[in-house]
């Protein structure tokens, strides 16, 4: 798809007391409607890159599939904005449960905020992996330096799958959840071991973002931004180390600090 990440448009800019015409680069906003087994399942507003990974990661995150082998076929009609998914299991897929809250019986008051799909798919992370403060700072710097699309538009979120030493893959999207789903889909397709991996992230660590990280299976999330209270309650429950405000030589460790050396 041409201009699938950004477009150059003519604008009027006000600067130093006067208007002048110039060109600006703007992020592309794209609607993708996903059909599963012939039924409309969801419409996502996204950046139209890595769409197969996005669809796979989204379906896994929503509990529709657990493994890519459960997908019989996946095709993308980029011009019309449709993704067509046929599952091995031909039973009708309903998304009614996604809008209902479920109060779980497990420990932790935060669990009452789960959707039913979250109860089924959120993972408690048990890992002895650790990371050094300097490595956290370097990974965040590497993610930001690699984000050419963000530097061009200022309108994208970035997420990266990392080892302690380097970025493995990096994805951008106008939706922060979408960037994580693209990583999740890639990991599923390539059977990547995740318990020893780190997620670096440009946006706020919300409860939804934290649950995405849990479903992916990583034990550490690094962000240059702030967390929310519910995200931290979930992180405590799910065994995830949340590190925020990584800026310059500073950072805040909010949960499970034993992994940060």
Neighbouring C-beta atoms of residue 55, cutoff 10 Å:
27
The answer to whether 107 is a known catalytic residue is: yes
Phi, psi of 26, rounded to the nearest 5 degrees: -125, 140
Phi, psi of 183, rounded to the nearest 5 degrees: -70, -45
Alpha-carbon distance of 104 to 107, in angstroms, equals 8
Please pick, among 46, 107, 136, 162, the residue that the annotation labels catalytic. Answer: 107
* CB 233, CB 108: distance < 8 Å: yes
Query: How distant, in Å, are the alpha carbons of 1, 30, 109, 203 from that of 179?
Result: 18, 14, 28, 10
- Helix then strand then coil, in percent of the chain rounded to 5, is 35, 35, 35
Which residue in this structure is represented by tokens 């380097």?
166
Name the β-bridge partners of 260: 131
Alpha-carbon distance of 2 to 102, in angstroms, equals 42
Q: Is 122 exposed, middle or buried (0-12, 13-18, 19+ CB in 10 A)?
A: buried
What is the pairing mode between strands 30-36 and 82-87? parallel
Alpha-carbon distance of 26 to 67, in angstroms, equals 35
Active site members: 107
């Amino acid at each position: 798809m041409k201009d699938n990440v950004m477009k150059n448009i003519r604008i009027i800019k006000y600067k130093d007391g006067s208007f002048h015409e110039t060109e600006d680069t703007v992020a592309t906003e794209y609607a993708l409607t996903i059909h599963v087994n012939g039924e409309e399942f969801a419409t996502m507003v996204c950046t139209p890159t890595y769409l197969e990974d996005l669809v796979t990661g989204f379906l896994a995150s929503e509990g529709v599939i657990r493994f890519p082998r459960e997908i019989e076929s996946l095709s993308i009609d980029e011009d019309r904005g449709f993704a067509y998914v046929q599952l091995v299991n031909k039973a009708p897929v309903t998304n009614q449960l996604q809008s209902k809250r479920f109060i779980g019986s497990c420990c932790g008051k935060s669990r009452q905020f789960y959707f039913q799909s979250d109860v089924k798919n959120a993972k408690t992370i048990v890992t002895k992996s650790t990371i050094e403060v300097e490595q956290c700072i370097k990974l965040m710097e590497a993610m930001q330096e690699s984000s050419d699309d963000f530097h061009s538009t200022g309108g994208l979120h970035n997420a990266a799958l990392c080892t302690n030493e380097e970025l493995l893959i990096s994805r951008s999207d106008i939706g922060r959840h979408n960037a994580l789903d693209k990583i999740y889909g890639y990991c599923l397709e390539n059977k990547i071991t995740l318990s020893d991996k780190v997620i670096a992230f440009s946006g706020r660590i919300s409860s939804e973002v934290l649950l995405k990280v849990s479903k992916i299976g990583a034990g550490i999330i690094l962000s240059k931004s702030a967390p929310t209270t519910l995200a931290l309650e979930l992180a405590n429950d799910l065994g995830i180390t949340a590190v925020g405000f990584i800026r310059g030589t500073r950072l805040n460790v909010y949960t499970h600090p034993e992994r940060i050396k």
